[in-house]
Structure 1
Amino acid sequence: MVSPKTRRVLVIMPAWNEGATVGTTVTEVMNLNEGYDVLVVDDGSKDATAKVAAAAGATVLRLPFNMGVGGAMRTGFKYADRKGYDAVIQVDADGQHDPRDIATVLGGLETADIAIGARFADKGDYKVSGPRQWAMVFLAAVISRLARTKLTDVTSGFRAGNKRAIAQYLDHYPAEYLGDTIDSLVVAIKSGCRVTQIPVAMRPRQGGTPSHNPAKSAIYLLRSVFALLFAVTRSRSKIAVQEGTL
């Protein structure tokens, strides 16, 4: 196991039209002075996202068109693998994930392959209601049984992964709606990855326009159930079959 003091960590920041916030978020990560490298994957933005991120000190990869968070993260994982990083962590460009919690979430990798920064684990005051809340409770209950550990926030994108997780993600990381959180987690668990969660406090979006609206929230429950059903019927990743444990 690579020591936390010597491991190379890549912060992957998917960004779509986040020119108003991405620069500040990158700067916050850099100011931690923890030695993290920051990769911003510009997901087909029409604004100055790429320019602002680069000016703040991030490495920037630009996708030719919008592929969604799943597509952006796949790009980030491929970059991490090719550059030999020991661990990765996703941080949202809109500032809702507090960079000061990065080290804490990475600490979960001492006992697991994937560590989730959980919003509903007795820290912070982040709340949801209606269909989104019902979906999150249902998904957490089902996936907790699969993982054989209590998970309260399985849709959180604030996640860290070690080399084993990166290898698994390269084999299978979906780009479908909700797939980047639900499907990827279920398949990782079925492939033998250990999962844990770390309590974190979410911040309000620091600027820009939220991607969710009432219409999307109304159909969240139905789509999340379909995403889960698809995930649990998908076959195990060949990473687990061919290599066992890494």
Structure 2
Amino acid sequence: MQEDTWLVIPLFDEAQVIEEVLREARAFFPHVVCVDDASHDASAERARAAGALVVQHPFNLGQGAALQTGMRYVLDATDAAYLVTFDADGQHRPADAAEMVQRAREEDLAIVFGSRFLDDRTHPGRLKKVVLKVAVWLTNQQTGMRLTDAHNGLRVIRRDAAQRLDLRQNRMAHATEIVLQLGRTRLPWAEHPVHVLYTDYSRGKGQSLMNSVNILVDTILK
């Protein structure tokens, strides 16, 4: 159990899956804050029932704002050594997150980025992969980083690195902004192979391709 680590989960209209996501996550990470970004469904109530602490936005601000709220809560209200950004839709594996935290400890890393492109476990589909690869190239050009998967929401951030984050991009462009700000810290970082699970649920919500297109558009316009 990762007692000194908090999961930060942006939450918007995930009532159908959030209890199962939290059940699996809390087997590794007992401390979870979900930031409910003005959901229209019972996401907040179900997250609380599953044992998460829930902070709620009064109106929808976007995933970047939800991440900033969650990280600010952890930094101000706890003495956590590590924060893990984690998606609410079941695409991330808690076991991967635990491996990333362990790697951060063992290698004295301030940031560990999850990458779905360091091995062959993840199968995003040909078009989605092309869009994500283009977005990665653009992000690397903008930030000076050399990542293989710049828009994966699974990240481990040590407390000293998290204290230097101040996300202003509320929507999908926050993924580029967080890489830029973490890169500017000059703190040690690495990528770690992870398995992103593209489920019928996430595909049914249109996340398989449309999120990638949104990422690309926001990356270009940022």
Q: TM-score range by the shorter chain?
A: 0.7 to 0.9
In structure 2, what is the equivalent of residue 51 of structure 1?
A: 45
Provide the rounded CA distance (Å) in 2 between the counterparts of 1:126 and 1:120: 9
Is the aligned partner of 1:126 residue 2:123? yes
Please show how residues 165-204 of structure 1 align to structure 2 within 5 Å: 165-169=161-165, 172-204=166-198
Greater gyration radius: 1
In structure 2, what is the equivalent of residue 151 of structure 1?
A: 147
The answer as to whether partners of 2:8 and 2:83 remain within 8 angstroms in 1 is yes
Which letter does structure 2 place at the counterpart of 1:127?
A: P
Deviation by residue 1:35-79 (Cα, 9 ceiling, x = unmatched): 530111111001000111111111111111111111111111111
Provide the rounded CA distance (Å) in 2 between the counterparts of 1:12 and 1:22: 13
The aligned length equals: 216
Structure 1 stretch 130-139 or stretch 150-159: which is displaced more? Answer: 130-139
In structure 1, what is the equivalent of residue 138 of structure 2?
A: 139
In structure 2, what is the equivalent of residue 98 of structure 1?
A: 93
SS at match of 1:50: helix
**Closer, same or farther: CA 17–24 of 1 in aligned 2, 3 Å:** same
The answer as to whether partners of 1:135 and 1:225 remain within 8 angstroms in 2 is no
Deviation by residue 1:146-188 (Cα, 9 ceiling, x = unmatched): 23xx52101111011001111011xx21233333211111122
Which letter does structure 1 place at the counterpart of 2:134?
A: A
Structure 1 stretch 134-143 or stretch 83-92: which is displaced more? Answer: 134-143
Unaligned runs of 5+ in 2: none
Deviation by residue 1:96-150 (Cα, 9 ceiling, x = unmatched): 001121111213423421111111111413324446144234136536x823xx5
In structure 2, what is the equivalent of residue 61 of structure 1?
A: 55
In structure 2, what is the equivalent of residue 163 of structure 1?
A: 159
Is the aligned partner of 1:80 residue 2:79? no
The answer as to whether partners of 1:140 and 1:152 remain within 8 angstroms in 2 is no
Which letter does structure 2 place at the counterpart of 1:89?
A: V
The answer as to whether partners of 2:9 and 2:33 remain within 8 angstroms in 1 is yes
Which letter does structure 2 place at the counterpart of 1:126?
A: H
Give the percent of matched residue pairs that are identical in Structure 1 and Structure 2: 25
Which letter does structure 2 place at the counterpart of 1:117?
A: G
Aligned-residue RMSD, C-alpha: 2.5
